[in-house]
Amino acid sequence: MASKSDDRHDSTGILSTLITASHICHYHGVLDAYGHISVRNPNNKSTFFLSHNLAPALISDLNDLVEYRIDDAEPVDPDTKAGYSERCIHSEILKNEKSGTEVPVFDAANHYQSGSKHDFLIRSIHLGQALASNFTKSQATYVKVGTSLVNRITGSHSEAPPSPDHPVVLMRGHGFTTAAASIEQAVYQAIYTAIAAKTQAVALTMQGAFSDAQLLGKVDDSGNITKGSSKSAAKLQYLNDQEASDSSSMNESNGGRAWKLWEREVSVSKLYDNTLKK
């Protein structure tokens, strides 16, 4: 039986990518001192790797990574370093592995149990299951970008495993979670989810400030408004399902280009250190 240490050494390729992914997400402002990214163990489908309780930018070697059981989110080695309290997010999504255009919103307040802390942290299997349920199963849907990037989970370019119907779930008062069939795709989704959110926020602000609103109504003989409504001449136009699907297909051929750029950005920064690349 391989030991925990042997399992990590046998997976250095994917773990190097995991470390780089943490650095990229920090470099692009998706993660700060908090947040985390994990990957299923390619040599043991019942476990996954996640760093111990450490800021993403500071993860650098095998000693910073911990192997957890998917069944209960507990470490394979009970004597390992303390981990993130929210590792149940990762374990429950991995249990539930499975493209829609709507983004579900998860509100932890709707799932708190009696006596639990109301701090928005997904610190229990119960809350992890509730969040993971937003990533609904679909055996007919497959990750598109996984065909153009090396699939770090299977180690091949073959057909990717099923993708989530909703690859991103917003978490009220907390942030968001994204799931994908490869580390590279998860990073891509994370970065552009953050960019899209900022773009939408600016667009909504501009719409509110500069839209040419028309006020329609009736006024009685005394000058009082008896009936009225407003009609905005300018509305944001979002992608429909067809546009979103076709745009995703177009982007798949460019996924590798983005990853190579992001990988280079963190490799030349003195802040980040990935000893598995040396």
Known catalytic residues? 86
Q: Report which DSSP code applies to 56.
A: G
β-strand partners of 251: none
Instruction: With H, G, I as helix, E, B as strand and everything else as coil, classify residue 57.
Output: helix
Chain CA centroid to CA 119, Å: 20
For residues 40-72, one letter each, b for 16 or more C-beta atoms within 10 angstroms of the residue's C-beta and e for the rest, the string is bbbebeebbbbbeebebbebbebebbbbbebee
Contact 215, 228 (CB under 8 A): yes
**Helix count (H) and strand count (E) of the chain?**
7, 8
From 197, 206, 188, select the one nearest 152 (Cα to Cα): 188
Q: Write down the residue that tokens 């920064």 correspond to.
A: 269
